[in-house]
């Protein structure tokens, strides 16, 4: 049953990837100008444009280029950047690592904090502590991340000189140096994603708290902490895992603003650069990675919520 | 008391940047009694103190460069389209890397006079239809092989072939062919005489690469390429085998911070040593920051409004005149560019072009009455201008024009469009659009590119036969007085007849940490037109 679902979802995932690749290909083609025009920019002439288009293979019809790309992709060849001439795998390689590292550290820091704070707030609803958490998270959700990032830079880097203003990595720093370099974007992203996860945890648990079996437990005299940790939490975990998964996917694909402000070489900025230069193979490769990340993370979230819920785990 | 003391012992390093610039200018120009007087008047110090200042300034500016150290330089743009092949260079980060790794035949001095680099001498024949270059001997590539005339002929002819994808193909089109004369001697055979050829050889894309290569970061320049990650950074080490004295720094790193606010914050926080392009909105922040200097180098980077002459409404001369008279030029320089710019006179030539600038041409003033008169005569009461943020200040310039037009009852509609795809989709297509051009090293190339009849980038579609004649006549003219007359005639033609509105030129404004010394001031681009790698040092 479970394995069947997983295989089915993987199949749907592949179909999604194909559809996304076609949509991305078409959407990028609709944009005004092509990569030759962007490379030559203001200095383009009809002759130099034609010469460059031939050199880059842009004179072929769109469907030929799409299927060429698809064929190479299936054999693991991501192709060559049209705009700069580097191989896509070399462009993506280091940045994928950077993105995963950042997402990983943010997850490691923010998930325990969020769940702990969310649980705490749910255990003491209506107290001043709960109000601080609720008010604080609501405020932080409303503030755009570039604002948090810029304020953090102004205070911690420009005024106090405690932390570097950009996430600069040499590639051979010690763990402490690495943490110092990453501190600013980590702080920003932890604040951004935690707020949502805390609220979801709190809301999910309070929602379950009003169900009959919890009332039964209260009547039996079970302590509130035990009710929440033993009974409510596992029944509320489905939506919480889903919010975590969505936030992780966002950390992989959506942090372009944070990457730009801290000059952090990650994947999201690479894809934007690709779109700006109409570098189709690069855009496609990034889109595939992002799409696959969503598919996999949501699959994991669904499996997680099934495993955590006895009713779904053992269907009658 | 304290005040008196500090005044009598005022030293160069205590001055504000504008006073420093003044002293530096006087020192470089060699100062006379009159200039000492001028300095004393401007800065308000006594004559003795002014004299002391100049000597102190001379010592400070001439201080011997120190060896060692490394810098991080952050340019404004980079991405997966960072180039390796000099022929395809398009952005500031390419230019900086190109200057670090490769060499040119000719190098621009701060005043744009051509200086020998890989070419030791450059001589034209009597009518400038052929140029002969004697090349430096004993130069080695980073991989140890010898530099010869074959490399030069190969590199330079790449711009000339029919199917060349060079971004400066048209700039070099006056050359017919580069020929090898000996192991270290080459000749450029011209289609038409060009007295300015050496100056053109100093531009960013004219780098000499190894015969048969595409650059591949093997050069003869002051730094070697240690690692290159497009859109991330490049790391360079000093080339110990350099044919000149060599770079002062042990190493340098060239990267970009694309967000303008983050870039300024990084240099103020000391995370980088030098940045390119400070937005006018950040001038005050940089000026008031400790340890950072905001440079301001007069250049010819135009804030331009193109009115197409081959269509409505620009085909009507009165409409163009109206748009020109409605520009409040002084205010644009003062408010939009915060004083870091020069007033334009609807020609692409600025005082930064030196002796070819026509100062005699009367300055077109801000004159709403004349504008109203011309708009009325043209029969138009509204028009649409496409605006993209192609250079800092252009949007505010257009907004100001819109407000001033409204005052005289003319409806100037601004259509904001993104930079993305602008050059292909809007520029030279919409009847009114905005433009900027990097300053070209010669007045002739600057005018030829935009106003040469039938040219590829004649962005107002103004085709004037006399202009075409003058462009080639002036290239062959070697007598300075006659040459100036020809350049003045061209500027007058553009000023009177073209569809170009150029209310102002912006200065080059970069931010440099105070311990970085020796940054050149070549006005063709940021950070001394990327000429810094060989010359800067850390105090």
DSSP structure string for A178-233: HHHHHHHHHHHHHHHHHHHHHHHHHHHHHHHHTSHHHHHHHHHT--HHHIIIIIIH
Which residue segment(s) compose the domain that A8 sits in?
2-74
Same domain, B355 and B424: yes
| Residue B244 main-chain phi, psi, to 5 deg | -105, -170
Same domain, A217 and A126: yes
Average pLDDT for B52-73: 75
CB contact under 8 A, B262 and A165: yes
Per the CB < 8 A criterion, the answer to whether B400 and B332 are in contact is yes
CB contact under 8 A, B424 and A274: no
Helices (H), chain A: 2-30, 35-40, 46-56, 62-74, 88-123, 128-142, 145-152, 175-209, 212-220, 224-226, 233-253, 256-261, 267-276, 280-308, 310-313
Residue B140 DSSP symbol:
B
For B40-45, which contacts have Cβ atoms below 8 Å and span 24 or more sequence positions?
Answer: B43/B15, B43/B19, B45/B7, B45/B10
Q: Which helix (H) or strand (E) holds B307?
A: strand B297-307
* Within-domain flag for A85: no
CB contact under 8 A, A153 and B166: no
Assess whether pLDDT exceeds 60 at residue B319.
yes
For B271, which of A94, A164, A279 is closest by C-beta distance?
Answer: A164
Write down which residue in B181, B208, B235 finishes a domain: B208
* Within-domain flag for B128: yes
How many Å apart are CA B73 and CA B536, to the nearest integer?
A: 11
User: Each residue of B87-144: pLDDT tens digit?
Assistant: 989 889 999 999 999 999 999 998 888 999 999 999 998 888 899 999 999 999 999 9
* Within-domain flag for B165: yes
Same domain, B266 and B345: no
Q: Which helix (H) or strand (E) holds B475?
A: helix B465-476
CB contact under 8 A, B269 and A161: yes
For residue B455, how many other CB atoms are within 10 A of its CB? 16
Q: What is the pLDDT of residue A283?
A: 87
Assess whether pLDDT exceeds 50 at residue A7.
yes
* Within-domain flag for B213: no
How many Å apart are CA B117 and CA B125, to the nearest integer?
A: 21
Assess whether pLDDT exceeds 60 at residue B245.
yes
pTM: 0.83
For B268, which of A45, A150, A158 is closest by C-beta distance?
Answer: A158
Assess whether pLDDT exceeds 70 at residue B62.
no
Same domain, A56 and A159: no
Question: Helices then strands (H, E): number in chain B?
Answer: 18, 23
User: Each residue of B396-448: pLDDT tens digit?
Assistant: 999 999 999 999 999 999 999 988 778 888 999 999 999 998 898 899 989 98
* Within-domain flag for A80: no
Same domain, A130 and A23: no
Strand pairing report for B382-387 and B341-343:
unpaired
Same domain, A20 and A58: yes
Tell me which of A165, A169, A264 to substitute to probe the interface with B (most B C-beta atoms closer than 10 Å).
Answer: A165
Q: Which residue of A has its CA nearest to B455?
A: A45
CB contact under 8 A, B257 and A270: no
- Range from A87-101, A113-127, B303-317 that averages highest in pLDDT: B303-317
How many Å apart are CA B228 and CA B334, to the nearest integer?
A: 41
* Within-domain flag for A16: yes
* Within-domain flag for A81: no
Assess whether pLDDT exceeds 90 at residue B276.
yes
CB contact under 8 A, A276 and B82: no
* Within-domain flag for B338: yes
Same domain, A161 and A304: yes
Among candidate residues B198, B20, B224, the one with its CA nearest the CA of residue B109: B198
Q: What is the pLDDT of residue B7?
A: 43
How many Å apart are CA B249 and CA B221, to the nearest integer?
A: 13
Tell me which of A86, A162, A166, A271 to substitute to probe the interface with B (most B C-beta atoms closer than 10 Å).
Answer: A166
Q: Residues of B413-426 as b/e, b for ≥16 C-beta within 10 angstroms?
A: ebeebeebbbbbbb
CB contact under 8 A, B421 and A85: no
Task: Estimate to the nearest angstrom the gap between the alpha carbon of A176 and the chain centroid.
Answer: 25
CA distance A129 to chain B (A): 36
* Within-domain flag for A300: yes
Among candidate residues A74, A51, A61, A52, the one with its CA nearest the CA of residue A25: A61
Write down which residue in A74, A102, A137 finishes a domain: A74
Q: What is the pLDDT of residue B56?
A: 63
Same domain, B418 and B463: yes
| Residue A307 main-chain phi, psi, to 5 deg | -65, -35
Among candidate residues B77, B85, B89, the one with its CA nearest the CA of residue B171: B89
Q: Please give the residue that has the higher pLDDT: either A53 or B63.
A: A53
CATH number of the domain encompassing residue A134: 1.10.3720.10
A-B Cβ pairs (cutoff 8 Å, strict): 135
* Within-domain flag for B125: yes
Assess whether pLDDT exceeds 60 at residue B3.
no
How many Å apart are CA A248 and CA A246, to the nearest integer?
A: 5
For residue A13, how many other CB atoms are within 10 A of its CB? 16
Average pLDDT for A215-239: 85
* Within-domain flag for A143: yes
How many Å apart are CA A229 and CA B102, to the nearest integer?
A: 66
Assess whether pLDDT exceeds 80 at residue B500.
yes
| Residue B214 main-chain phi, psi, to 5 deg | -115, 35
CB contact under 8 A, B81 and A260: no
Assess whether pLDDT exceeds 80 at residue A8.
yes
Write down which residue in B178, B208, B238 finishes a domain: B208
Same domain, A64 and A114: no
Q: What is the pLDDT of residue B317?
A: 95
DSSP 3-state assignment of A126? coil
The token pair that represents A172 in the structure block: 């051979």
User: Each residue of B282-296: pLDDT tens digit?
Assistant: 998 998 888 898 998
CB contact under 8 A, B424 and A44: yes
Assess whether pLDDT exceeds 50 at residue B351.
yes
Domain count within chain B? 4
Tell me which of A135-139, A308-312, B149-153, B338-342 is least confident. Answer: A308-312
Same domain, B498 and B534: no
Q: Sort residue B529 into left (φ over 0), alpha (ψ -120 to 50) or beta.
A: left
Q: What is the pLDDT of residue B407?
A: 95
* Within-domain flag for B159: yes
* Within-domain flag for A88: no
CATH number of the domain encompassing residue B337: 3.10.105.10
- Which chain B positions have a beta carbon within 8 Å of A33's beta carbon? 421, 423-425
Q: Which helix (H) or strand (E) holds B153?
A: helix B149-157
Same domain, A12 and A116: no
CB contact under 8 A, A164 and B257: no
Same domain, A286 and A216: yes
Domain count within chain A? 2
Same domain, A18 and A109: no
Same domain, A160 and A245: yes
CATH number of the domain encompassing residue B187: 3.90.76.10
pLDDT level of residue B58 (50, 70, 90 thresholds) = low
How many Å apart are CA B187 and CA B205, to the nearest integer?
A: 19
If 0-12 CB within 10 Å is exposed, 13-18 middle and 19+ buried, where does residue B533 land? buried
DSSP assignment string, B50-85: HHHHHHHHHHHHTPPPPP--EEEEEES---TT--SS
pLDDT level of residue B53 (50, 70, 90 thresholds) = low
Same domain, A231 and A300: yes
User: Each residue of A170-216: pLDDT tens digit?
Assistant: 777 788 888 888 898 998 999 888 988 898 889 888 888 888 888 88
CB contact under 8 A, A165 and B265: yes
Same domain, B334 and B452: yes
- To 10 degrees, what angle do helices A62-74 and A280-308 make? 50
CA distance A254 to chain B (A): 17
How much is the mean pLDDT over chain B?
88
CB contact under 8 A, B421 and A84: no
Same domain, B44 and B29: yes
Q: How far apart are the first and last CA of chain B?
A: 32
* Within-domain flag for B214: no
Among candidate residues B317, B281, B320, B503, the one with its CA nearest the CA of residue B400: B503
* Within-domain flag for A203: yes
Helices (H), B326-435: 329-331, 368-378, 394-407, 422-425
Per the CB < 8 A criterion, the answer to whether A270 and B80 are in contact is yes
Residue B351 DSSP symbol:
G
How many Å apart are CA A100 and CA B389, to the nearest integer?
A: 34
Q: What's the CA angle centered on B299, arms B294 and B304, to 5 degrees?
A: 110
Write down which residue in B174, B208, B242 finishes a domain: B208
Assess whether pLDDT exceeds 50 at residue B2.
no
Residue A41 DSSP symbol:
G
- Which chain B positions have a beta carbon within 8 Å of A166's beta carbon? 257, 262, 266, 271-272
The token pair that represents B445 in the structure block: 């190339």
Task: Estimate to the nearest angstrom the gap between the alpha carbon of B165 and the chain centroid.
Answer: 23
Which residue segment(s) compose the domain that B120 sits in?
106-208
- Which chain B positions have a beta carbon within 8 Å of A98's beta carbon? none
CB contact under 8 A, A84 and B80: yes
CA distance A88 to chain B (A): 9
Interface predicted TM-score (ipTM): 0.77
Tell me which of A25-34, A157-166, B208-217, B403-412 is least confident. Answer: A25-34
Same domain, B254 and B377: no
CB contact under 8 A, B80 and A55: no
For B265, which of A83, A86, A157 is closest by C-beta distance?
Answer: A157
CA distance A193 to chain B (A): 22
CA distance A303 to chain B (A): 38
- Which chain B positions have a beta carbon within 8 Å of A261's beta carbon? 259, 261-262
Same domain, B176 and B261: no
CB contact under 8 A, B259 and A86: no
pLDDT level of residue B54 (50, 70, 90 thresholds) = low
- Which chain A positions have a beta carbon within 8 Å of B270's beta carbon? 161
- Which chain A positions have a beta carbon within 8 Å of B256's beta carbon? 263
Average pLDDT for A60-67: 83
CB contact under 8 A, B232 and A265: yes
CATH number of the domain encompassing residue B227: 3.40.190.10
pLDDT level of residue B43 (50, 70, 90 thresholds) = low
Instruction: Spell out the residues 6+ positions from residue A303 whose beta carbon is closer than 8 angstroms to its own.
Output: A2, A6
Same domain, B416 and B348: yes
Percent above pLDDT 70 for chain B = 88
Assess whether pLDDT exceeds 70 at residue B5.
no
Q: Please give the residue that has the higher pLDDT: either B36 or B289.
A: B289
Same domain, B81 and B110: no
Same domain, A154 and A230: yes
Average pLDDT for B53-76: 77
Q: Which helix (H) or strand (E) holds B197?
A: helix B197-200
Per the CB < 8 A criterion, the answer to whether A142 and A199 are in contact is no
Same domain, B261 and B304: no
For A270, which of B80, B90, B258 is closest by C-beta distance?
Answer: B80
Same domain, B240 and B334: no
């Amino acid at each position: 049953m479970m394995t069947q679902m997983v295989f089915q979802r993987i199949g749907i995932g592949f179909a999604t990837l194909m559809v996304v690749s076609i949509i991305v290909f078409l959407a990028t083609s609709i944009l005004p100008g092509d990569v030759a025009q962007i490379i030559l920019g203001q200095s383009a002439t009809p002759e130099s444009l034609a010469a460059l288009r031939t050199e880059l293979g842009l004179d072929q019809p769109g469907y030929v280029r799409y299927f060429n790309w698809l064929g190479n992709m299936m054999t693991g060849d991501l192709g060559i950047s049209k705009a700069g001439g580097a191989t896509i795998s070399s462009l993506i390689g280091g940045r994928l690592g950077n993105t995963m590292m950042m997402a990983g550290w943010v997850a490691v820091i923010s998930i325990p904090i969020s769940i702990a704070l969310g649980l705490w707030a749910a255990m003491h609803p209506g107290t001043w502590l709960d109000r601080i958490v609720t008010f604080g998270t609501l405020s932080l959700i409303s503030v755009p991340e570039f604002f948090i990032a810029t304020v953090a830079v102004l205070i911690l880097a420009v005024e106090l000189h405690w932390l570097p203003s950009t996430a600069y990595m040499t590639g051979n720093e010690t763990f402490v140096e690495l943490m110092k370099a990453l501190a600013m974007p980590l702080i920003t992203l932890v604040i951004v994603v935690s707020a949502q996860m805390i609220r979801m945890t709190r809301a999910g648990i309070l929602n379950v708290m009003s169900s009959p079996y919890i009332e039964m437990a209260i009547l039996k005299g079970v302590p509130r902490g035990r009710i929440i940790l033993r009974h409510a939490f596992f029944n509320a975990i489905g939506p919480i895992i889903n919010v975590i998964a969505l936030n992780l996917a966002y950390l992989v694909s959506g942090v372009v603003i944070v990457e730009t402000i801290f000059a952090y070489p990650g994947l999201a900025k690479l894809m934007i650069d690709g779109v700006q230069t109409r570098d189709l193979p690069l855009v496609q490769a990034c889109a595939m990675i992002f799409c696959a990340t969503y598919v996999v993370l949501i699959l994991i979230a669904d499996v997680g919520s099934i495993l955590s819920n006895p009713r779904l785990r053992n269907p009658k | 008391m304290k005040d008196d003391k500090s005044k009598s012992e005022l030293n160069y390093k205590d001055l504000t940047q504008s006073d420093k610039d003044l002293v530096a200018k006087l020192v470089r120009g060699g100062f006379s009694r009159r200039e000492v007087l001028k300095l004393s008047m401007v800065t308000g110090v006594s004559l003795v103190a002014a004299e002391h200042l100049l000597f102190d300034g001379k010592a400070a500016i001439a201080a011997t460069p120190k060896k060692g150290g490394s810098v991080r330089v952050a340019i404004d743009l980079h991405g997966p389209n960072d180039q390796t092949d000099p022929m395809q260079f398009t952005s500031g980060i390419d230019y900086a890397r190109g200057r670090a790794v490769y060499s040119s035949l000719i190098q621009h001095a701060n005043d744009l006079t051509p200086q020998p680099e890989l070419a030791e001498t450059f001589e034209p024949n009597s009518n400038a239809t052929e140029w002969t270059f004697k090349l430096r001997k004993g130069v080695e590539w980073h991989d140890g092989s010898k530099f010869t005339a074959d490399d030069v002929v190969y590199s330079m002819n790449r711009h000339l072939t029919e199917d060349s994808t060079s971004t400066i193909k048209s700039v070099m089109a006056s050359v017919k062919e580069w020929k090898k004369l000996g192991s270290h001697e080459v000749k450029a055979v011209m289609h038409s005489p060009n007295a300015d050829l050496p100056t053109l050889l100093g531009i960013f894309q004219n780098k000499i690469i190894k015969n048969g290569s595409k650059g591949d970061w093997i050069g003869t320049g002051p730094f070697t390429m240690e690692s290159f990650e497009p859109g991330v950074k490049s790391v360079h080490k000093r080339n110990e085998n350099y044919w000149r004295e060599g770079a002062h720094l042990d190493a340098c790193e060239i990267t970009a911070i694309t967000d303008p606010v983050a870039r300024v914050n990084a240099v103020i926080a000391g995370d980088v040593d030098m940045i390119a392009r400070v937005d006018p909105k950040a001038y005050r922040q940089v000026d008031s920051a400790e340890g950072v200097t905001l440079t301001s180098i007069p250049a010819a980077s135009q804030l331009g409004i193109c009115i197409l002459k081959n269509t409505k409404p620009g085909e009507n001369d009165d409409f163009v005149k109206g748009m020109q008279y409605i520009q409040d030029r002084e205010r644009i320089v003062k408010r939009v560019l915060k004083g870091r710019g020069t007033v334009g006179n609807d020609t692409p030539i600025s005082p930064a072009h030196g002796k070819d600038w026509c100062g005699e041409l009367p300055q077109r003033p801000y004159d709403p009455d004349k504008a109203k008169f011309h708009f009325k005569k043209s029969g138009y009461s509204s028009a649409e201008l496409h605006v993209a943020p192609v250079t800092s200040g252009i949007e505010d310039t257009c907004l100001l024009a819109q407000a001033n037009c409204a005052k005289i009852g003319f409806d100037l509609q601004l259509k904001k469009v993104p930079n993305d795809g602008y050059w292909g989709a809007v520029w030279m297509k919409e009847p009114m659009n905005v433009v900027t051009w990097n300053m070209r090293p010669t007045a002739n190339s600057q005018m030829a590119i935009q106003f040469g009849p039938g040219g590829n980038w004649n962005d107002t579609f103004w085709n004037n036969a006399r202009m075409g004649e003058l462009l080639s006549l002036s290239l062959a003219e070697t007598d300075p007085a006659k040459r100036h007359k020809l350049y003045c005639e061209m500027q007058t033609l553009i000023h009177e007849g073209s569809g170009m509105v150029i209310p102002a030129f912006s200065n080059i404004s970069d931010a440099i940490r105070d311990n970085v010394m020796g940054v050149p001031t070549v006005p063709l681009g940021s950070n001394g037109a990327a000429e810094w790698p060989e010359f800067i040092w850390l105090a």
